[in-house]
Structure 1
Amino acid sequence: MRDIAMFFAMLALVPLAFKNSYNAYLLWGWTALLSPVYYLFGFMQGLRYNLIFAAIAIGLWLLGKVDLKGKISANSSTLLLIAFMFHVSLSALFGYDNNPWNIQVYEGFIKAMFFVLMMPIFVSTRLRIHALVLVICLALGFHGVVEGLKLISSGGAHKVRGIETSMLSDNNHFAVGMGMVLPLLIFLMIHLKTQIAKYAATAGLVLTVLAIVATHSRGGFLCLSVVGLWYAFTARRKVFSFFLLAVISFLAFQMAPEEWFSRIETIKTADADESFMGRVIAWKVSTAVALANPVFGGGLHAIQAAPVWQEFIYKLDFLSFISTPLPDAQHPRAAHSIYFEILGDLGLVGFLIFISIIINGFLTAGRIRKLTAGEENLIWARDLADALRLALVAYCIGGAGVSLGYLELFYVIVMLLAVLHKHIQVFSDAASKKSAQSSLSLNRKINLDG
């Protein structure tokens, strides 16, 4: 039944994409973040939805069929992302042999970066910025709504495993991805025009929080806690934000099973937890790989390749001051941290570029806040910058314990901040020019009257 529904949906969506290049771009992003094949089991499962809409969008751009066309500017965000993409390409090229993950991860990363780097071309107006935020929420929020409803229907027994066909492929990855989309759902809840749309965004927000609870992820709990408290203390409407935090927290604790509370309690004794200490060992191995290959690292997901893991697991003496159990040399582990993942994969140089992208994202959000200060008609831009900044906070906190260094949503948020900043700059420049012209006209009138 799902496949039949998807078949008829494609009959409508493909002509819609050809009709307008921006529709194609939105559908390109929607299929990338949603990963619809996860929900299909029949004749429509093998279709490459993302490739279809990417090809239409790029084709229309090459044919000059992009209306309201923007342009790629040489701002700090774009330059850092291009530098990072170039460095990732070199790291994949010069990485260790016998790493089956190298090409697989690289292909997914490059596809995501094409979407990200083309954003300034397609997203050039306020309406289009809003539409892209809405599509992100519809894509990732759909997973949150589905899993949240499952938790309610099961009376708290449901446990999220992740979306196997996407980067959010296990419970911890899923929790971080959902934590990043929460601020955008809050933004929509405040700024959508119709009451029914606001109710839909609110329901999506609550269900996505419940979906994070259903992951039983300790990293997800930390991410959720930081997002909630950060929003409550930094939002424009403090009373509303604390009320929202209190209501959602109450609902989450009511639905959470005893197993969830037991899992969260283990945060206090992380040094005695076998799973956590296994991650520390993986961080050690990633560091060893980076120090042996400081420029290009070991290649993408290098330590997950058995030969690389087995080579470096015995070279950790320089980190002996960090006490860990005897490591398992036969079973490679993921890096379990965006920071150590990038460090081991891309070396010290790639790590510095990655950290620069994060810092630049926060600085861009700060510049937007400065430009919009005191401007009533730009409150939406300030709120969106705050939401995107909070999504970065969720990524930085939640990502400390998962291997999501190449998560497309992170790079989308960084570029969306750059696009928003450019839009506000143009608006501010136009307002300043208009004000200057008004002052000049007034001065001329005064001189003539004098």
Structure 2
Amino acid sequence: MRDLLLFGIIVGLIPFILRRPWLGVVAWFWIGLMVPQAHTWGFMRTFPLAMLIGGVTLAALVVNRDRRNLPMTREMVMMFVLAAYMTMTTYFAVYRSGAWAQWESVMKILLMTFVTPMLIFGPRRIVWVILVTVVSLGFYGFKGGLFTISTGGSYMVLGPPRSFISGNTYIGLAMVMVLPLILVTARFFNERWFDLGWPLKQSWYKGIGLGFYAMFWLTGLAIIATYSRGAWLGLLAVAPFVFLRMRRKWAIVAAAVLALGVVGIAAPDRMVERWQTIGGYEEDTSAMQRIQSWGANWNMAVERPLTGMGFRNVEMGYAWWISYANFEGYWRHALSPHSIYFQMLGQHGFGGLFVFLTLIAFTWLTLGRIKRQAKKADQKWLSEYAWAIQIAFIGYLVSGAFLDVAYFNLVYAFIALAIIMRRELDETAAFSPAQYRPVSLPAGTQAIGAGARTQGVAAVGGMHVRRD
């Protein structure tokens, strides 16, 4: 039944996407982040949903005029550089066939990242993309939080089976990244920043906002119940920024003191033991495996500093891998770089890591600029969401130090949103009332409305005028 329902939804979306291509971006984000096919049991489990929706979206982009030019910002340029650099390292990869297969998957993510700014513009479309992103991952936070409460936190929260975020560490990272966006989305509806249009009625906004507040707190619980030390460190990194942004801080502190000191709510023993292993990492096998892996990838980058070993270097086998390690240990384990930084080093060398971090740094700086200038321009929704994505990157960079998630599609979705939001801010500033100052028109000219398209139009002092 689930298979037929999902199939019907996908088939039903196709004509809408062909008519309005931007809906294809929204659908692609939903499929890529929520992975709805993971909840089916039949033919839809292996159905290429992302490929289908992506193909339909690209076809609609070609035949439909509802699009914008590709904004060549510094982030966009760096993504082209990253794509080119990964292509070069794949050509020199040690495991050529597997590397090209992984290259194809990463290029699909980058392709949709390039397409997104062409189809997503205007406040409503931007917020709808963010809303779908928040709901797609917040669903697991909401569900996981309820599961944590019902079981007393005794069991581990996991992601959807047979998906990229199925493991506790990966779903934990995803929830850490989306947590600040859930908070801002709750405020968006609670304060009714603007109308999103059909199918949401403004009379529903208050209730929807309360639902997102519930999702925020339940997602926080779910992150803790993943038992992922990487996710815990990411949560610790974003928590101070989120706390400072919250209202009624003292009420939250008082509730925490009441729960811990008076009622006596305590973490399960298993969770406490897991936390204590962070300090005593030398005695923890999992931690030592990571250190071994980091050393191996560092040595690979030293041997091939410009090209690295290419995608899927782990498939060269244990004997090859361990030859680059500083020590072997007594374990045999699944090979993994266990870090976005060492993943980029081992697969793409120091050059690849530099390009990757430069892309993130540019995005971070752009979000900071949007946050400051949007606040001055009274564009609260832009300022708040820019702040939320900035904090999400903090969580990613901290948790990502322990996870191989350099190609996580949520990261590139946030980069695309930063590019789109920057353009939105610039266009809002360009057409703000302050730009239209009174001017003295030369003889023989006639003022016309801003934005009119006619021959012989010239701009004089911020106004558009026509020469007779």
- TM-score surpassing 0.5? yes
Q: CA deviation at 1:242?
A: 6.3
Corresponding residue number in structure 2 for 1:183? 180
Q: Distance in 2 between matches of 1:393 and 1:3?
A: 37
Corresponding residue number in structure 1 for 2:355? 353
2:349 matches 1:311: no
The one-letter amino acid of 1:341's match is Q
> 1:31-83, CA deviations, whole angstroms, 9 ceiling, x for partnerless residues?
111111210002332322212211111101111x142x222122100001111
> 1:353-396, CA deviations, whole angstroms, 9 ceiling, x for partnerless residues?
011011111111121123224332x1111111100101110100
Corresponding residue number in structure 2 for 1:406? 407
Q: 1:289 to 1:275 in 2, by over 3 A?
A: same
> 1:154-209, CA deviations, whole angstroms, 9 ceiling, x for partnerless residues?
33233123334332231111111110011111110111231111012112212222
Which stretch of the first structure deviates more once superposed, 150-159 or 242-251? 242-251
The structure that is helix-richer by fraction is: 1
Equivalent residues of 1:176, 1:394 under 8 A apart: yes
Q: Distance in 2 between matches of 1:315 and 1:287?
A: 9
Corresponding residue number in structure 2 for 1:380? 381
Q: Which of 286, 296, 311 matches 1:285? A: 296
Q: Distance in 2 between matches of 1:50 and 1:250?
A: 47
Q: CA deviation at 1:273?
A: 1.8
Counting only pairs closer than 5 Å after superposition, residues 185-204 of structure 1 correspond to structure 2 as: 185-192=182-189, 193=192, 194-204=205-215
Return 5+ residue gaps in structure 1 as ranges. 318-324, 443-450
Q: CA deviation at 1:223?
A: 1.0
Q: CA deviation at 1:146?
A: 2.5
Structure with greater Cα Rg: 2
Q: 1:152 to 1:406 in 2, by over 3 A?
A: same
Corresponding residue number in structure 2 for 1:5? 5
Counting only pairs closer than 5 Å after superposition, residues 48-447 of structure 1 correspond to structure 2 as: 48-63=48-63, 65-67=64-66, 69-97=67-95, 100=98, 102-192=99-189, 193=192, 194-233=205-244, 235=245, 239-240=247-248, 243=251, 254=265, 256-302=267-313, 304-307=314-317, 309-311=318-320, 313-315=322-324, 326-327=328-329, 331=333, 333-376=335-378, 378-431=379-432, 434-440=433-439
SS in 1 for 2:44: coil
Q: 1:254 to 1:38 in 2, by over 3 A?
A: farther
SS in 2 for 1:45: helix
Q: 1:249 to 1:441 in 2, by over 3 A?
A: farther
Q: Distance in 2 between matches of 1:282 and 1:347?
A: 15
Equivalent residues of 1:336, 1:401 under 8 A apart: yes
Q: CA deviation at 1:149?
A: 2.6
> 1:82-135, CA deviations, whole angstroms, 9 ceiling, x for partnerless residues?
1111111222221112774x3443232111111111111111111111011001
Equivalent residues of 1:33, 1:140 under 8 A apart: yes
Equivalent residues of 1:310, 1:329 under 8 A apart: no
Corresponding residue number in structure 1 for 2:459? none
Q: 1:375 to 1:152 in 2, by over 3 A?
A: same
Q: CA deviation at 1:271?
A: 2.8
Q: Distance in 2 between matches of 1:243 and 1:441?
A: 58
Return 5+ residue gaps in structure 2 as ranges. 193-204, 442-468
Q: Distance in 2 between matches of 1:96 and 1:90?
A: 12
Which stretch of the first structure deviates more once superposed, 380-389 or 147-156? 147-156
Q: 1:11 to 1:60 in 2, by over 3 A?
A: closer
The one-letter amino acid of 1:390's match is I
The one-letter amino acid of 1:29's match is F
Equivalent residues of 1:306, 1:332 under 8 A apart: no
Q: CA deviation at 1:221?
A: 1.0
The one-letter amino acid of 2:234's match is C
Q: Distance in 2 between matches of 1:144 and 1:407?
A: 18
% identical aligned pairs: 24
Equivalent residues of 1:172, 1:217 under 8 A apart: yes
The one-letter amino acid of 1:351's match is L
SS in 1 for 2:376: coil
Which stretch of the first structure deviates more once superposed, 9-18 or 206-215? 9-18
The one-letter amino acid of 1:81's match is M
Equivalent residues of 1:288, 1:312 under 8 A apart: no
> 1:411-448, CA deviations, whole angstroms, 9 ceiling, x for partnerless residues?
111121111011101111222xx425324369xxxxxx
Aligned residues: 424
> 1:284-340, CA deviations, whole angstroms, 9 ceiling, x for partnerless residues?
0000111111111101142x2244x533534456xxxxxxx6436965521111001
Which stretch of the first structure deviates more once superposed, 347-356 or 139-148? 139-148
Q: 1:411 to 1:7 in 2, by over 3 A?
A: closer
Instruction: Give the alignment's TM-score, normalised by structure 2.
Output: 0.84
Structure 1 vs Structure 2 CA RMSD: 2.6
> 1:237-274, CA deviations, whole angstroms, 9 ceiling, x for partnerless residues?
x5445655876898899585321122112212123322
Q: Distance in 2 between matches of 1:341 and 1:257?
A: 33
Instruction: Give the alignment's TM-score, normalised by structure 1.
Output: 0.87
